[in-house]
Amino acid sequence: MPFQYQYPHPAVTTDVAVFALRDQQLQLLLIRRAQEPYKGRWALPGGFLEIDEDLDSCAKRELEEETGVADLYMEQLYTFGRPDRDPRERVISVTYYALVSADKLSLSPGSDAAEAAWFPLRRLPELAFDHAEIIHLARERLAAKTHYSTIAFQLMAETFTLSELQSVYEILRNEKLDKRNFRKWALSLNRLEEIGGKRRNGNHRPAKIYRLTAPDRVDIIR
């Protein structure tokens, strides 16, 4: 036990709720715990902070180690610290939420976790620790942010149609939107650029293809 302190210290972890759009559904990335406690249960990717590591770096590192997912948009969510939230010892978890576009996805679970998988938000398995609470908060934050930021664009592939974009907003907000009003609004943001070309997508008229003028930027709007 080489690390000694005059006063007790909690452990610090990061946990990340990663959202992506798959099969026209909002899905969440979970790992199956390989160790006790909650061995075999599903949990958010995350792990212990290294002593010289930034909080953000820790979240990204653990995520990549456990799931192979790397290229994403991430924001700090909230810090959870109920004294009994981890049976091993006192653990403070600095949580993040993140969005990946489906086309940047390549799942390749690492050694830390036995398994990683995507779950539709409506059908989450039983979760370890207080992770259900974390996910709930992340989901709320995400829905709220669609109203005053461009965060939802981070779920889009590099190119997309306006209908695809509308569908993302409808899924995040969980309500139908008017097509004409949505398009007017989306284009008025001046973040979309038509990249001449059409997407054939079924037995119907093909859609114009757009891309973001600043793909990595998330702005506060309105």
Partner DNA sequence: TTACTAAGTGTTAAAAATACACTATATCTT
Partner DNA sequence: AAGATATAGTGTATTTTTAACACTTAGTAA
Q: How far is the CB of 137 from a copy of itself (least distance, A)?
A: 11
Binding mask 3-22 for a copy of itself (x = CB under 8 A): xxxxxxxxxx----------
- Phi, psi angles (nearest 5°) of residue 81: -150, 25
Query: Hey, how many other C-beta atoms are within 10 angstroms of the C-beta on 26?
Result: 20
Q: How far is the CB of 144 from a copy of itself (least distance, A)?
A: 8
Q: How far is the CB of 26 from DNA (least distance, A)?
A: 19
- CA dist., res. 10 & res. 55, Å (int): 15
Which of 30, 92, 105, 142 is in the footprint of a copy of itself by CB under 8 A?
A: 92
At a CB cut-off of 8 Å and minimum separation 6, what does 141 contact? 77, 97
Closest CA to 27 of 112, 95, 99: 99
Structure tokens belonging to residue 99 = 């969005």
Subset of residues 177 to 216 that bind DNA, contact rule: CB under 7 A: 178-181, 183-185, 198, 200-208
Q: What is the 3-state secondary structure (H, E, C) of 52-112?
A: CCCHHHHHHHHHHHHHCCCCCEEEEEEEECCCCCCCCCCEEEEEEEEEECHHHCCCCCCCC
Pick 1 or 190: Cβ nearer a copy of itself: 1
Q: Residue 217's binding partner, choosing from DNA, a copy of itself, none, with beta-carbon cut-off 5 to 8 A by kind?
A: none
Which of 23, 36, 52, 126 is in the footprint of a copy of itself by CB under 8 A?
A: 52
Structure tokens belonging to residue 25 = 């559904």
Pick 122 or 204: Cβ nearer DNA: 204
Q: What is the DSSP letter of 146?
A: T
Q: Is 115 labeled as catalytic in the residue annotation?
A: yes
Which of 54, 103, 158, 194 is in the footprint of a copy of itself by CB under 8 A?
A: 54
136 binds a copy of itself (CB under 8 A): no
Q: Is 141 left (phi over 0), alpha (psi -120 to 50) or beta?
A: alpha
Q: Residue 6's binding partner, choosing from a copy of itself, DNA, none, with beta-carbon cut-off 5 to 8 A by kind?
A: a copy of itself
Catalytic residue selected from 53, 65, 115, 133: 115
Which residues are annotated as catalytic?
115
Task: List interacting residues with a copy of itself (CB under 8 A).
Answer: 1-12, 48-49, 51-55, 76, 78-79, 81-83, 90, 92, 94
